[in-house]
Amino acid sequence: MLPMATIFSDWQRRALVVLAAAVSLPFAAMGQVQLTGQLGVDRSELALISHREIVSLFNGTNLDGWMVRGGKASYEAKDGEIIGTVTVKGGGNTFLCTEKEYADFILELEIKADQELNSGVQIRSQCFDSETTYDFGNQTIKIPAQRVHGYQVEVDNRPERRWSGGIYDESRRGWLFSLPTNSPAGRAFKFGDWNKYRIQCLGSSIKTWVNDVPAADLVDAESLRGFIGLQVHSTDKPGLQVRFRNIRLRDLGRHYWMTAWDCRSFDGMEQRGPATWELMDGVLRVTQTGAASTNSALLGTTPLQDAVVRFKYKTIKTGFSLNFLPELEGKDQSGFSFSFLEPGGPTTNLVRAKDWNTVVAMVQRTRTTVFINGRQLSDAPIPPRSGVFPALRLPVGSAAEVYFKDFEILNCPE
């Protein structure tokens, strides 16, 4: 096992790559790495993208490499287009899906839908032969066998809403990133005409553009790999069609979770305050009496910059906060903190009492995002920081007992 100082240093090194390839890609133009038009990327990502080949996912003549899942709509290849047609009233959502799965990629395509027909593009999606269960805290979602589910980039048919380019979690959590009514991307969408979509998936970052206008900027790490699908939405109006053409993709490899701390040594960690921190067979246990008059904390001693981390916790008494501090010593402790105190507080309806819960936290230079059990708890701008120190902190004057395990980091691409 690596000592904690080495592990946290590795967190920082890997996270700097994640900054370029996952969570911190501005919308500024970088002409050197265009697919078509402008693409927002960071300079340090140029090497990653420039050597990746752009491939067509549609050969223009037939549907080789694709398969139909769900619903009763039909698909055909004609004149360099894929045409999806509603065949029966209420035939269910139908998807033409790639046989191959993709993880990190830049996808471009053009879409033209009849104005009365809703559609979308599935990304990192799944479809299993047997029923699948997802646990999101106090909510359990059962996905029937053969049901397509996962991220969908919206093709909206409602002019009063204009959410084209937003991100919906099909058959799972619902809307993850809906656009404000009449957003720039929504206004850029042309109903009943061809629209160019660009979709960029890199680690926990999913970004979309509609006709070169930025739309969604989602951070979510629930699914990191899956197929691409072209949707014909269920409707009561047979004969409606949606068309797809110029479907091209640049495969950027994949991100994956790796162990950051196995909870078997306190190397590289600093304990503060009266709490007792114990390591027991890969699990961290912290206890504190109600008489505690000062904060107790376990701190990492190497700063993190631009990282996506994940861990599990179980609260028996009170709870804790996840802190990111600008410095280990000194008076400036104006970092940022997320509270996991039960009962009460913002996480009450998202957690399982006295059971394991999963936290995913993304820390960028100017943004933090925190999820618990697949649900977003916070997405907020922060003052620019060159690095922060992670800490688990207990409240003053409260008896506490909390367990932690499975500390991971989202690793850089292959």
* CATH architecture type of domain 257-410: Sandwich (2.60)
Q: Is the torsion defined by CA of 163, 190, 197, 156 positive or negative?
A: positive
Mean pLDDT, residues 231-249: 97
Quick one: residue 330, left, alpha or beta (phi over 0 = left, psi -120 to 50 = alpha)? left
Domains 53-251 and 257-410 agree in fold: yes
pLDDT-derived band at 176, boundaries 50, 70, 90: very high
pLDDT above 50: residue 18 = no
Tokens of 18: 């994640």
Instruction: Look at residue 380 in the predicted model and tell me its pLDDT.
Output: 86
Residue 31: is its pLDDT beyond 70?
Answer: no
**Amino acid code (one letter) for 113:** A
Query: CB neighbours (10 Å) of residue 270?
Result: 14
* Of the listed ranges 26-35, 217-226, 263-272, 385-394, the one predicted with least confidence: 26-35
More confident residue, 159 or 346: 159
The three-class DSSP label of residue 62 is: coil
For residues 166 and 277, what is the distance between their CA atoms, to the nearest angstrom? 44
Identify the band that residue 346 occupies on the pLDDT scale cut at 50, 70 and 90.
low
Give residue 311's pLDDT: 96
Which of residues 198 and 362 earns the better pLDDT score?
A: 198
> In whole angstroms, what separates CA 344 from the centre of its chain?
27
Return the pLDDT at 293.
85
pLDDT at residue 290, rounded to an integer: 83
Residues contacting residue 287 through CB under 8 Å, at least 6 positions apart? 275, 276, 278, 400, 401
Question: For 124, what's the count of Cα atoms within 13 Å in the CB-facing half-sphere?
Answer: 27
Average of per-residue pLDDT values in the chain: 85
The whole-number pLDDT of residue 342 equals 64
Q: What share of the chain is helix, strand, coil (3-state, %, to 5)?
A: 10, 45, 45
Confidence band for 292, pLDDT divided at 50, 70 and 90: confident
Q: What is the pLDDT of residue 169?
A: 96
pLDDT of residue 218: 94
Structure tokens at 34: 């265009």
Fold that domain 53-251 belongs to in CATH: Jelly Rolls (2.60.120)
Q: Grade residue 363 by pLDDT with cuts at 50, 70 and 90.
A: confident
Report long-range pairs for 81-85 (Cβ below 8 Å, ≥24 apart). Answer: 81/243, 81/244, 81/245, 82/58, 82/230, 82/243, 82/244, 82/245, 82/247, 83/241, 83/242, 83/243, 84/119, 84/230, 84/231, 84/232, 84/241, 84/242, 84/243, 84/244, 85/232, 85/239, 85/240, 85/241
Which residues touch 151 (CB under 8 Å, ≥6 apart)?
122, 123, 124, 125, 167, 168, 169, 170, 176, 206, 220, 223
Residue 51: predicted pLDDT: 65
Rg (CA), the chain: 23
Selected residue with higher pLDDT from 3 and 163: 163
Split at pLDDT 50, 70, 90, the class of 52 is confident
- pLDDT tens sequence across 62-93: 999 999 999 999 999 999 999 999 999 999 99
Which tens digits make up the pLDDT trace of 112-150?
A: 999 999 999 999 999 999 999 998 888 899 999 999 999
Give dist(CA 274, CA 293) in Å, integer: 8
Beta bridge partners of 258: 409
Percent of the chain surpassing pLDDT 70: 84
Residue 331: per-residue pLDDT: 53
pTM metric for this prediction: 0.85
Read off the pLDDT of each residue in 154-171 and give the average, rounded to a whole number. 95
Where do the structural domains in the chain lie, given as residue ranges?
53-251, 257-410
Dihedral of CA atoms 66, 69, 73, 76 in degrees, nearest 10, equals: 10
pLDDT of residue 388: 84
Mean pLDDT, rounded, for 158-166: 93
DSSP state of 263: S
Q: How far apart are the first and last CA of the chain?
A: 22
Residue 5: the pLDDT is 39
